[in-house]
Amino acid sequence: MLATIGKRFMTVIPTLIGVVIVTFLLTRVLPGDPAVYFAGPAATPQSIAEIRKTLGLDRPLPEQFARYVGDLAKGDFGNSLSTGRPVATEITSRLPASAELTLFGLIMSLMIAVPLGIVAAVKQGSWVDHTCRVVATAGVSLPVFFTGLLLVYVFYYLAGWAPAPVGRLDAFATAPPQVTGFYLIDSLIAGDLETFRASLGQLLLPALTLAVFSLAPIARMTRASMLAVLSSDFVRTARASGLKGRTVIITYAFRNAMLPVVTTLGMVFSFLLGANVLVEKVFAWPGIGSYAVEALLQSDFAPVQGFVLTMAVLYVVLNLLIDILYGVIDPRVRLEG
């Protein structure tokens, strides 16, 4: 098992190298000059040239790239020009916020999409099946920023049920002592139920926005996979043997239908990492997505490069976990395959 995992890691090294090269080149061809931005509108050509020299932007691209790769080998992502802090420190401090939002949204989506897809497949043609199709179509059609703004308008502005979209906590709550970086878990560890309720209230709407976005592909894949399995011979045999319908559906049918759902789950999670950028801006969420957008608008190369590399590493780790999960769900599936 460990040898196979090691082989998988070796296969992703070329991918990460390609991400480093493409990210470096793209940030250099983007419109905007960091030196001009930070020099200000009244800067002289001499001051702009001095800033470019300080940032190393006056050197040839191969030399800049070699210096960039050398810093990466040391774990140095560079410093943000806008904040003055190391990019690695910024990403480390902001990543738990993005991870908590993404995971909570994915869990909410699974709790709705998987049962809905199973019931839609079992009761094909019923009102539940039609509801599944409508929900899936709506989830695919609505952009995440529109869904987020709509939820804020309905639940905060009109109904007043949700707190103001001002980040992870409102102005009257204090962050719990950091253990995992997840406010929900850290507040429970500290026994601070007030902070737990405050952080949960702030988390619900942005997580629901991501859940609506990810619900469609999971529900559709669960339904399609269950329909294929329910028509198979072993399910008919299990029913003919007198087993209860619930046992046949959950124990036999759903377990064999899980592999396509897990594959879809991996793709959806990667999509959510990208959708996080818009959701974080709508809800003022202090994650790495909003951090990357602000850096991009300011032509700040280092945070953008650090963001892309972090997303690439997360995607690689996620695919490895999915491969391992295949073998757990179905022993016939081997990682060597």
Per the DSSP assignment, residues forming a β-bridge with 79 are: 86
Domain coordinates of the chain in residue numbers?
93-288+307-329
Name the percent of the chain lying above pLDDT 70.
92
Task: Give the tens place of pLDDT for each residue, 104-124.
Answer: 998 999 898 889 888 888 888
Give residue 2's pLDDT: 62
Q: Which residue has the higher pLDDT, 327 or 104?
A: 104
Average pLDDT over residues 34-62: 76
pLDDT band at 331, cuts 50/70/90?
low
Cα–Cα distance between 117 and 99 in angstroms, integer?
26
Average pLDDT over residues 227-238: 84
Name the percent of the chain lying above pLDDT 90.
12
Asked whether the predicted pLDDT for residue 200 surpasses 90, the reply is yes
Mean pLDDT of the chain: 83
HEC-encoded secondary structure of the chain? CHHHHHHHHHHHHHHHHHHHHHHHHHHHHCCCCHHHHHHCCCCCHHHHHHHHHHHCCCCCHHHHHHHHHHHHHCCCCCECCCCCCEHHHHHHHHHHHHHHHHHHHHHHHHHHHHHHHHHHHHCCCCHHHHHHHHHHHHHHHCCHHHHHHHHHHHHHHHCCCCCCCCCCCCCCCCCCCCCCCCHHHHHHHCCCHHHHHHHHHHHHHHHHHHHHHHHHHHHHHHHHHHHHHHCCHHHHHHHHCCCCHHHHHHHHHHHHHHHHHHHHHHHHHHHHHHHHHHHHHHCCCCCHHHHHHHHHHCCCHHHHHHHHHHHHHHHHHHHHHHHHHHHHHCCCCCCCC
Asked whether the predicted pLDDT for residue 335 surpasses 50, the reply is no
Asked whether the predicted pLDDT for residue 258 surpasses 90, the reply is no
pLDDT band at 207, cuts 50/70/90?
very high
Give residue 3's pLDDT: 63
Q: Which residues contact 301 (CB under 8 A, 6 or more apart)?
A: 27, 28, 34, 78
> Which of 100-104, 137-141, 183-187, 261-265 is predicted least confidently?
137-141
Asked whether the predicted pLDDT for residue 213 surpasses 80, the reply is yes
Q: Give CA 138 to chain center in angstroms.
A: 20
Instruction: Decide if domain 93-288+307-329 falls under CATH 3.30.300.20.
Output: no
Asked whether the predicted pLDDT for residue 149 surpasses 70, the reply is yes
Give residue 334's pLDDT: 54
Tell me, what amino acid is at 69? V
Q: Which residue has the higher pLDDT, 198 or 274?
A: 198
Q: Which residue has the higher pLDDT, 5 or 46?
A: 46
The CA angle 255-106-95, to the nearest 5 degrees, is 130
Average pLDDT over residues 166-183: 87
Asked whether the predicted pLDDT for residue 202 surpasses 90, the reply is yes
The two three-digit tokens of residue 273, written as one number:
């990492």
Torsion sign (Cα): 290, 293, 297, 300: positive
Cα–Cα distance between 214 and 95 in angstroms, integer?
20
Is the Cβ–Cβ distance between 282 and 148 less than 8 Å?
A: yes
Give residue 231's pLDDT: 83
Average pLDDT over residues 206-232: 87
Give residue 333's pLDDT: 57
